[in-house]
Amino acid sequence: MTIDQIHQSFSHDGSVPLMTLSSPSGAAQYASLRASLNGIDDDYVFPFDLSSYRKIAIDPFSTHKLTPTQLTDIQHNINLCRDVIVYFTSCGSASGYGGHTGGAFDTVPEVCLMDAFFRACPDRFLPVFYDEAGHRVATQYLMAALDGYISPEFLRFYRKGGSHLPGHPELGLTPGIQFSSGRLGHMWGTINGIAMANPDKIVFMLGSDGSEMEGNNAEAARLAVAQNLNVKLVLDDNDITITGHPSAYLKGFVLEKTLSGHGLETVLTVDGEQVEELYEAMRRSVVASGPTAVVCKRSMAPGITGVEATSQGHDAVAIQYAIPYLEARGHVKAAAYLKLGSATKTSDPHPYQGTGKSDAMRKVVGQTVVDILSTLDPEERKSSVMVIDSDLGGSTNFNKIQAAFPEIYVQSGVMERGNFAAAAGFGMHPSKQGVFSTFAAFLEMCCSEITMARLNRSNVFSHFSHSGVDDMADNTCHFGINNMFADNGLEDGYDTKLYFPCDPLQAAKVVQRTFPLIGSSTSNDGSKSTFTNKGLRFVFTTRSKTPILLKEDGETPVYGDGYSFVPGKDEIIRECGSDGHGYIVSFGDAVYRCLDAVECLKKEGIHVGLINKPTLNVVDHDMMERIVAQSAGSAGICLVVEPLGKKTGVGSKFGSWLMETEHAQKGGALPRFGHIGTHREGGGGLWEQAYHQGYDSVSVQTKIKEMLGKK
């Protein structure tokens, strides 16, 4: 297949191997992906003819109105692209890898017009479909297939591990991709710089009402206006985000007014589904000087029955809606493939010893907060607690708080920094606390606000779900691996604690102990005590479900009846024993993988203990002395295994902590130290990510044997 180079830019990475069936590497990759389907697709043929896409050229500087032929061609391309996007994103839904249909589906008309502009005037445009909403990556993959970088057969493996088609575009991973994006509000500023580097080019940026909520874009708008940059925004305004309608929960936020207020002189509003009207607005935008915006009003996923104008369009369209849509459009073979449904799903093939049933810790956290709040007097609850959402309450499970106690719940927009600051401001009063939640990846955006909250002695309980990399098909830009950034204060600063439980039962215990500002607890010996939880408390959970950990009898939960969580204390899951070789120290979803590794090694006569460290940023001096005492010497080891980043996680500090032990200060020998953590850009997929980073059970066993000098 010949590569159409029309959409290449200065950032094009030609070293990325093509994903084509005619290339050796592409053929091998495709065969590996097909192997997971166990032969159910032996007669598979991509059910669309992408060669029917009409590569037309339209000069917006000389063409004031589309001709009937041009309109017909553009509409043909829109229909083809939308049908293909529904198909392969729904493949993601059927296979369990999920994804996003609606945004990519929505913006097809403007993408097709942009493509026509690029082909007509390649010297006047930077011919890249820059998109601030990286979850609309289906657009980028489809265009890469149309350009010949990807054989279309690959598209059905959208978001699957090893497909190189993750949930957000990543430069250098997928052939034909010209940029990385994914965190909302992070693209316009970059586009400004691209425009500065290419002053003779017009630079388009696809955006959305959700991405424009982010504070970064206010700064980017002011710079674009001040420098009169040739940046052209085309914004999909469908009034739908994950948790509802911005027009209802974020009154006063109007794209046109916001952009005009920043100084953009040309802000045009159109019906995004009326192609002639859209063309006229985009043409006017292009010929105007400086930064401009076209705001495309439309329902999300227009024309998809059961999905249109609902937040379901934000996800990959479920096959129950995609199949009738495709059948009605005449794509019977595409619909037939989707009917394979769950037969295309995969799961972690490894059986984990020492574990029971699984549940999502993030759901447990939300429900436990509800349970605690239900014990408060209604007036006390309303006066002392404020919960604020950043459009992800459904994912962090804080929508349960909204349902139970709407009077204390603020449904806010995609504005993490401002929302955290608001929670901290509420919690400045010593008897009040703000409650905040979002994804762990976005903690990095809140570092400065966290610092100021600490300096203001605020009380904030934060739940950052989607921590680590497990189940993260959204891939690298959504990895929650720099959680330790939250502990960015000084040693004498207002209290900050970071907690990462390892199973659903412990998650409940952690919240019960750390959420109330004042409470009482019963220790393991039956004694009762009063505790306080002033300051900043961060609870981290995974996107994935994690299994309940069991004691050595294989039946009793480690964190069941009789267990009380004690902040700052590490916990032994399995003893090292007098004849043992040392300890593995872990937390979060890495613990159950390490527990399996410990049990497997034990059968080989290799005895290592397992320590869970649920409080990430506090040194348990007693446990540290125990580790060095039992692991010291030439035969002893200490291995930290974590889902956080290897550069910034617990393991990056743990070696220093070992050297600071009393044992070490007195000249005692220290164990050999090892560290496994997230260290590579993502490989896509869900359960596959842990294997890609090497903190799966087999990799942990291999590392232990290497440290002990065993094959």
- For the residues of 658-692, what is the DSSP string, one character each? HHTSHHHHTT----EEEEEEE-S----SSTHHHHH
Average pLDDT over residues 593-618: 97
Give the model's confidence band at 326: pLDDT under 50 very low, under 70 low, under 90 confident, else very high. very high
Q: Residue written as tokens 């996680």?
A: 649
Calpha distance 597→706 (Å, rounded) = 14
Residue 694 structure tokens: 């090497």
Same domain, 133 and 246: yes
Same domain, 443 and 520: yes
> Confidence class of residue 602 from pLDDT cuts 50, 70 and 90?
very high
- The predicted-structure confidence for 143-202, as pLDDT tens digits, reads as follows 999 999 999 999 999 999 999 999 999 999 999 999 999 999 999 999 999 999 999 999
Pairing of strands 355-360, 545-549: antiparallel
pLDDT at 632 over 80: no
Instruction: Evaluate the CA torsion angle 313, 319, 322, 324 in order and state its sign.
Output: negative
Residues 335 and 396 in one domain: no
Q: Domain for residue 64, yes or no?
A: no
Q: What is the CATH number of the domain that holds 578?
A: 3.40.50.920
CA–CA separation, 670 and 673 (whole Å): 8
Query: pTM above the 0.85 mark?
Result: yes
pLDDT at 395: 94
pLDDT at 250: 94
Q: For residue range 457-472, what is the model confidence (pLDDT) as tens digits? A: 999 999 999 999 999 9
pLDDT at position 328 is: 98
Q: What is the mean pLDDT of residues 394-417?
A: 96
- Give the end of a domain, one of 297, 313, 344: 344
**Same domain as 492, residue 572:** no
Give yes or no: residues 381 and 325 share one domain.
no
269 burial type by CB count under 10 A (0-12 exposed, 13-18 middle, 19+ buried): middle
Please give the single-letter amino acid code of residue 121: C
Residue 1: pLDDT band (50, 70, 90) is low
Residue 549 domain flag: no
> Do 93 and 233 sit in the same domain of this protein?
yes
| Token reading at 351 | 């059986």
Q: Please write down the long-range contacts of 256-265, taking CB distance under 8 Å and 24 or more positions apart.
A: 256/295, 258/212, 259/212, 259/221, 259/233, 259/293, 259/295, 262/218, 262/221, 262/222, 262/225, 263/221, 263/222, 263/225, 263/226, 264/221, 264/224, 264/225, 264/291, 264/292, 264/293, 265/290, 265/292
Q: 278 and 248, same structural domain? A: yes
Same domain, 312 and 394: no
> Which residues contact residue 11 at a Cβ distance below 8 angstroms, ignoring those fewer than 6 apart?
171, 178, 179
* Residue pair 298/273 in contact by the 8 Å Cβ criterion: yes
Predicted confidence band of residue 634 (pLDDT cuts 50, 70, 90): low
**How is residue 531 written in tokens?**
């505790």
Taking residues 63-83, report their average pLDDT. 98
Q: What is the pLDDT of residues 224-268, one digit of tens each?
A: 999 999 999 999 999 988 888 999 999 999 999 999 999 999 999
pLDDT of amino acid 522 = 74
* Residue 280 counted as domain residue: yes
Query: What CATH number does the domain containing 172 carry?
Result: 3.40.50.970
Asked whether residue 599 falls in the same domain as residue 637, the answer is yes
Task: Provide the percentage of residues in the chain whose pLDDT is more than 70.
Answer: 99
268/255 Cα distance (integer angstroms): 10
State which of 344, 376, 396 marks the end of a domain: 344
Tokens of 670: 């220290």
Domain that includes residue 586, residue range: 566-708
- Determine the pLDDT at residue 553: 96
Q: What is the pLDDT of residue 524?
A: 66
Q: Which helix (H) or strand (E) holds 637?
A: strand 637-645
Mean pLDDT score across all residues of the chain: 95
Residue-by-residue DSSP string for 66-83: --HHHHHHHHHHHHHHHH
Task: Identify the sign of the CA torsion 388, 391, 393, 396.
Answer: negative
- Residue 178 domain flag: yes
Residue 5 in domain: no
Asked if residue 518 is part of any domain, the answer here is: yes
Say if 302 falls within a structural domain.
Answer: yes
Domain annotation covers residue 321:
yes
pLDDT for the residue numbered 512: 97
Here the tokens at position 372 are 């605690």
Structure tokens at 659: 């050297």
Strand bridging mode 460-465 / 536-540: parallel
- Number of separate domains in the chain: 3
Per-residue pLDDT reduced to its tens digit, 509-551: 999 999 999 988 777 677 788 999 999 999 999 999 999 999 9
Same domain, 239 and 364: no
Q: What angle do CA 593, 597, 661 make, to 5 degrees?
A: 90
> Residue 108: its pLDDT value, please?
98
pLDDT greater than 70 at residue 633: no
End position of a domain, from candidates 523, 540, 557: 540
Residues 251 and 294 in one domain: yes
Which band of pLDDT confidence, cut at 50, 70 and 90, is reported for residue 421?
very high
If asked whether residues 474 and 575 sit together in one domain, one would say: no
Residue type, 271: D
Residue 389 has a pLDDT of 94
Among residues of the chain, what percentage have pLDDT more than 90?
A: 92
